[in-house]
Each structure stands twice: as structure tokens, then as C-alpha cells.
Amino acid sequence: MLTCLKGGRVIDPAHDRNATGDVWFRDGRIVEAPTGGSSADETYDVAGMIVMAGAIDIHSHIAGSTENAGRLLLPEQHRASSASPANAVLSGARSSTFETGCRYAIMGFTTVVEPAVAPHQALQAHLELADVPIIDKATLAILGDDDFLLGLMRSKESAAAVRDYVAFTLDATRSLGIKVVNAGGAAAFKANVRRFSLDDVVPSYGVSSRAIVKALQHAVNELRVPHPLHVHCNNLGLAGNADTALATIAASEGLPLHLAHLQFYGYGREGERSFSSAAARLAEAVNATPEVTIDVGQVMFGQTVTISSDVLRQFNARNQARPKKWLIFDGDANGGGVVPYDYRRTDFYNAVQWAVGLELFLLIEDPARVFFTTDHPNGAPFTTYPDILALLMDRDLRAQWIATLPPAAIAVTTLPSIRREYTFAEIATMTRRAPARLLGLADRGHLGAGAIADIAVYSEHRDRAKMFAAAALVFKHGDLVVRNGEVTHYRWGRALAVRPDRDRAIDTRLKHYYDARYGLPHDIFSVPEGAIARDEPFELVPCAS
């Protein structure tokens, strides 16, 4: 069936489109406008509306055993209050996988990356993702605190061995990329280390955090995995940690590197409370280092729960839990922690954090290198996205918010001096085109012929938050899934994964290793082909040739 979205303002930075026009699609793919007067089988009049590709979230903790522990730890924080319609079963179950898919779709998001899957927990993550309706998803597998990798590095094995192991992990976990979380920090914490920075050494392995990051960065790059190594730096949340982030940016050394939720590393030690924004310094470094990309991890005020594989950080933060309960988990490699937190407008530190995130968005010049995240749910739930988009697009709105915050907090930031306002084209770059390119998804994030017909149509409204909160129309693979901000029906997306080639000798070696170390089959933690009972649950993303 040939469909035409007629007369909307089409914003597609990949093709320099930013004007009134039509978008055509057939059988789930965008097509060129037909010539010779053939007409659409179905036409939507979208005059006065904004038409963009479906949005892509590169870092949102929506599935997996740690996320699920967060649900189970905080039943009082997601009491439901509305019944689920039969066409969107369990969508009223707050914080459920079903609600997650619906809420994302309603905002016009069509692909979301769960960025922290411990390889031994990958099956559960994929089972949860399979119950997220509508959107496509992907996982990043965590390496860097696992005995096998650290053992390879301790015995100074070849880069090829590390590469093969990374390739095995991507295959076994069906992941799109590799993340490293406070590299070596979880292993060090098991040896009773309580502070761990970039040049600290993991006890008993003699390997520095920096060396782990570099080994994985090279392996991912050499395997031609599209998404660069995704780095959660050391010292998250600590005053003065901008120095750690700057050192990590410098450690990119000409190869691609992605730094996650940089806001949480944007802190200096200025001011009366020795806590200040260092966002300007970080933005300057990012602007000067083209191989580095970052996502923000914006903080918004309100109750949330922090869910992180940085077990050391979560352990150290457990006594700041709001409310006072927490779960700390020493995993086979990384583990993690669940610590609820309430970001308060009246709290000096929380107000600085809020400002740091916006400064990063506004001071990093290239919207293709700063990615739109709240590190859901760590900085804020993803449902706050419309408010954040509004803040980026409207300096008067920012001024109104600033006026309600502690002046002492704002005084240690540069936010009031920033006049920049994001344009629609920059929003589309940041949330569509750039994430697709960062993840290696050639047929997403744009509206050119051949692209998957993942399309979001918004009614233009002066209140940008209102506009982005509920799309007028959302198509997933050309299928109308949201109309007037409501889900029309479920469909089931896929998990996107890469599978770079490897020397299969690594499989034999891992078989012996798992047998000796764990007394378990080496593939017991793998995600088998038939584990997900849906049609075509996975989609292979090619590595660069």
C-alpha cells in the first residue's frame, strides 16, 4: 500500500529538508514521490504539522535484572491508576515493559537502546525487551570487570584475543555494542577498594582502568562495530570529577569513543560548597575532540530511582537514598545497585546538576555529537523528555525555571548567560540522524528513500513540551501505531545486534575456561536463537566493511 503524508513541514537533516512537503512510503519503507501521477492508496493531511523520522534513544535503562530489581524495590512509586485498553494490554501497568513501549511510541520514539546488560544476565534483558511493544530495541553488553578479560590483560595476551572475546560476547548476548562501566571498579570493589579512578589498578590483576578502556576501545574499533566503545567513566557523581572526564576524553587518542551521561561528570570544586559546574570546560574539550561523542544524562526534578552497573558508586551512594532503601549486587562481573533518589528544586547540588546538563546541551556546538538522554531513570524518567526539549528550544523558559532555583547554585554555573536555542533541525539531528549514524543504522533516523518508515508527526504548538509529549501520528515500519497521542495497537519490534567475525578458537578456549572456573557450560548464559517466542525477534546490523 502506498501512503502519503501530505503537506507537513518535513524536517530531515540527513537530506537538508526543512520545508513543507510530502513523505511517501510503501511496505514499511520510505519511497520517492511517485512520478507520472500515480496516487496514494492512503493520504494523511498533515498540513501545519512537523514530520520527522522516528526518534532514537541511545541510552535508557529499560530492561534487565537490575532495572527489574528497581521495579520490585519500589512498588509504592508506580501505583497504577488507569485501566489498560484491550488494544494496549498492560500499558496502564506503570513502569512495566508494556508501558515503556507505549510511552516511547507516543512521544515519537521508535528505537531505544538498553545500554547496560551484564553478559550473564543477557537472556533476561532480551526477554524483557521482547515484552516492550512497538519500538525496536538493542542492548549494549558490559565488559571490563570480567575475570576473563582482566586475565587476558594480566597475562599480556594479544589484541586479537581480546577482539575475539569481544566478538564472542556480542554474539552470545546479541548486542549492538560494548559498554564499559567504571572500568575495573567493580572488580576492585570486590577486593575492598572504595575509590577507583582512571589510573588506578585493579588488585590482583595489575591492570589499570585506563588500560581496560583502551583495550576495549581498540577491540571494538578493529572489529568495525559501528557503535564506538560506550564509556561510563570513573568517579561518577563526585565533586571535581570533571578532571576524570577530561582525562578520559584525552584518552580517546584519535579513535572514536562515546562518553555516557556526561552531566554526572560535570562537577568542579569551586564555590563555598566546593561543588560547581565544570560543564564549560567539558564542552570545550568535546568541541575540540571530534572523535568523541557524548550523551547528557539530564537531571530533572522529582522522584526517581538510580539504577547502575557501577556497583562501587551505588554502594557509596546508598546512604543518600531517598527514600532510605537500596539494593547492592556483586555480580559475576559488574553487578550493580538500585538506589532511589528524589532530585529537589530546593537542593543546591540537584540544581547544579540540572544546570550542568543544560549547559552541556547548549555549549557543545555540534548537535550530532551530543545525544539526548536522561540516563533514564538515573537523571530523570524518559517521560520528562518533552520538558527538556522545551528548555533547549526556549531561553525564556529556562529563565523562568532558573528563577525558581537556589541562586547560589545557579551562580556556580554559566547557564543564565547562554542564549542559544535549539532549532527543530538541530533537535532532529540530535534525536534522529546522529543516533542512527552512531549506532550504524543506515536505514533509520532519516526520511530518504529506502529508510524504514519510522515516522513521527507532531502538531505544531508554541508549548514545545506539549507538542513533543504526544505525537499526532506515529508510524512504525509504516504501520500506524499512534494516533492523537494514543496507541492504536501493538506490534512487536526487534532487537538489533551485530555479529562481527571471530576466530572460533576463542569458543573452545572459553569452553575450557567456564568448565575450570565455573564448572558450567560456557554457553549457559548465551541467548539462544529460540529463546524469544516472537517472529524474527532479532535483526542483524552489518559491521563496517
The residues that touch another protein, with contacts defined as CB under 8 A, are 63, 65, 68, 71-75, 78-84, 86, 89-90, 92-98, 120-121, 123-124, 127-128, 131, 133, 147, 151, 154-155, 189-192, 204, 315, 318, 321, 324-332, 335, 490, 516-520, 524-525, 528, 530-531, 533
Task: Establish how many alpha carbons lie within 13 A of residue 243's alpha carbon, considering only the half-sphere containing its beta carbon.
Answer: 8
Least Cβ distance, residue 195 to another protein (angstroms): 15
Least Cβ distance, residue 152 to another protein (angstroms): 11
Which residue type is seen at 434? A
Nearer to another protein, 339 or 351 (CB): 339
Q: Are the C-beta atoms of 107 and 385 separated by less than 8 Å?
A: yes
Q: What is the DSSP letter of 32?
A: P
Least Cβ distance, residue 303 to another protein (angstroms): 15
Query: What φ, ψ does residue 541 adopt, rounded to 5°?
Result: -100, 125
Nearer to another protein, 3 or 95 (CB): 95
Q: What is the DSSP letter of 452?
A: B
Whole-angstrom Cα distance, residue 108 to residue 91?
Answer: 16
Q: Which three cell numbers stand for residue 108?
A: 515519537
Least Cβ distance, residue 350 to another protein (angstroms): 22
Q: Are the C-beta atoms of 477 and 76 separated by less than 8 Å?
A: no
Least Cβ distance, residue 527 to another protein (angstroms): 8
Q: Which three cell numbers stand for residue 249?
A: 576524553
Whole-angstrom Cα distance, residue 421 to residue 393?
Answer: 5
Q: Which three cell numbers stand for residue 197?
A: 579512578
Least Cβ distance, residue 99 to another protein (angstroms): 8
Nearer to another protein, 250 or 520 (CB): 520
Whole-angstrom Cα distance, residue 259 to residue 179?
Answer: 10
Least Cβ distance, residue 482 to another protein (angstroms): 17
Nearer to another protein, 96 or 217 (CB): 96
Which residue type is seen at 505? A
52-72 as b/e: b if 16+ CB within 10 A: bbbbbbbbbbbbbbbbbbbbe
Nearer to another protein, 123 or 238 (CB): 123
Least Cβ distance, residue 377 to another protein (angstroms): 13
Q: Is the peptide bond before 323 cis (omega within 30 degrees of 0)?
A: yes
Nearer to another protein, 119 or 226 (CB): 119
Mapped onto helix, strand or coil, the DSSP state of residue 540 is strand
Least Cβ distance, residue 80 to another protein (angstroms): 4
Signed CA dihedral, 371, 377, 380, 383: sign only = positive
**Which residue do the cell numbers 506539549 mark?**
466
Nearer to another protein, 2 or 74 (CB): 74
**Which residue do the cell numbers 507532531 mark?**
458
Nearer to another protein, 326 or 372 (CB): 326
Of 178, 200, 176, the C-alpha closest to 189 is 200
Nearer to another protein, 329 or 468 (CB): 329
